[in-house]
Amino acid sequence: MAPIISVNNLTKTYDNGFQALKGVDLDIEEGEVLALLGPNGAGKTTLISIICGIANKSEGSVTVGGYDITRDFRKARELIGLVPQEMSVEVFEKVISTVKFSRGLFGKKQDDAKIEQILRDLTLWDKKDNRIRELSGGMKRRVMIAKALSHEPRVLFLDEPTAGVDVELRKEMWDVMRALKKSGVTIILTTHYIEEAEAMADRVGVISNGELLLIEDTDTLMKSMGKKVLKIELDEPVTEVPPALAEKGVVLSPTGTLDYTYDTAAQQTGITDVLADLRAAGLKLADLSTRQSSLEDIFVGLVTDQKTGENAA
């Protein structure tokens, strides 16, 4: 199937000469949830802004649903809903009128039942006649989502949907995203929370310094690059790692366990040797556990690699 969004060799140089995107290539499949990760200033918002028509591209091309975002901007934009990173709402407007305004702006015929459905799904129906300034921060964020959904887009961009929201609201946002995904909407979200990407995304893209460093299925990424940590709990805690173990990279964790990090994809994990050394050192095991390293570790590793690579060059 043809990708719903296709980004080809996209570059962006801002007026002040800063190059925020350095030739990004990216295909997004219909119906998937794609998480874009990257440090502050990586270019995530810039990429989204260009696709959605808020910023002008410098070079390259983007198509949405097969329509070029410059030549067929109407058809391309009709397919897109955007919830920007910055909270921006018309504080004096009523919830329902601001959502209806959005639908009108996208050229759709007013449909009261549809609007009601969207507001109910986002638990905003009770607040429909309130002015936006009377809402809490989380509700305002949901109003922005309602606005983005008002014209029934096929692709939804969520630029840091859960930045600065509490745990409960984050879970609530995730539920909203899951329901949307179920209804077939393609979702592209940016986030700084790795757990969010792990929990929500089918694929993860890592952007740093205006480049797409990697794009991979979340599961494959975890497996292929994942490292595991073997946590060894001792009967009698030690204050120092025995030399033989230290040589193999075992470290003493703050909680007093001995931690051994190994590569799941390697031919030999070295676990047997570590255990043999433990025995030789006369240490008794109380418990063993392993922990899959998170996307965060992978991500930090990638970005550091890029930096050291640059320094070397």
Partner 1 sequence: MNFRAIAAIYKFEMARTFRSIFQSVISPVVSTSLYFVVFGAAIGSRIETVEGIQYGAFIVPGLMMLQMLMQSVTNAALGIYFPKFVGTVYEVLSAPISVPEILLGYVGAAATKAMMIGLIILGTAGLFVDLQIAHPVAMIAFMLLTCISFSLFGFIIGIWAGNFEQLNLIPMLVITPLVFLGGAFYSISMLPEAWQTIALFNPVVYLVSGFRWAFFSMSDVAVGYSLLAIAAFLAFCIATITWIFRTGWKLRV
Ligand X SMILES: Nc1ncnc2c1ncn2[C@@H]1O[C@H](COP(=O)(O)OP(=O)(O)OP(=O)(O)O)[C@@H](O)[C@H]1O
CA angle 23, 177, 227 (to 5 degrees): 65
Residue 140 three-state SS? helix
Q: Which is nearer to ligand X, 19 or 261 (CB)?
A: 19
The binding track of 146-175 with respect to partner 1, each residue x by CB under 8 A or -, is: -x----------------------------
Q: Which is nearer to partner 1, 101 or 174 (CB)?
A: 101
User: Strands 67-68, 80-83: parallel, antiparallel or unpaired by DSSP?
Assistant: unpaired
**Cα–Cα nearest to 163, from 140, 190, 142:** 190
* Token pair 């936006």: residue: 132
Judge whether 7 and 26 are in contact, CB under 8 Å.
yes
The item of Mg ion, ligand X, partner 1, none sharing an interface with residue 54, based on CB under 5 to 8 Å by kind, is partner 1
The item of partner 1, ligand X, Mg ion, none sharing an interface with residue 299, based on CB under 5 to 8 Å by kind, is none
Rounded to a whole number of angstroms, the minimum distance from the CB of residue 212 to ligand X is 12
Locate 108 and state its tokens: 């759709």
Rounded to a whole number of angstroms, the minimum distance from the CB of residue 75 to ligand X is 25
Task: Say whether residue 88 binds ligand X (CB under 6 A).
Answer: no
The binding track of 1-40 with respect to partner 1, each residue x by CB under 8 A or -, is: -------------xx-------------------------
- Tally of CA atoms within 13 A in the half-sphere of 36 that contains its CB: 27
Judge whether 249 and 237 are in contact, CB under 8 Å.
no
User: Strands 186-191, 155-159: parallel, antiparallel or unpaired by DSSP?
Assistant: parallel
Task: Say whether residue 45 binds Mg ion (CB under 5 A).
Answer: yes
Q: Which residues, numbered 30-59, are part of the site for ligand X (CB under 6 A)? A: 38, 40-46
Q: How many residues bind Mg ion (CB under 5 A)?
A: 3
Q: Which is nearer to Mg ion, 49 or 98 (CB)?
A: 49
Query: What is the DSSP code (8-state) at residue 108?
Result: P
Residues binding ligand X (CB under 6 A):
14, 16, 18, 20, 38, 40-46, 85
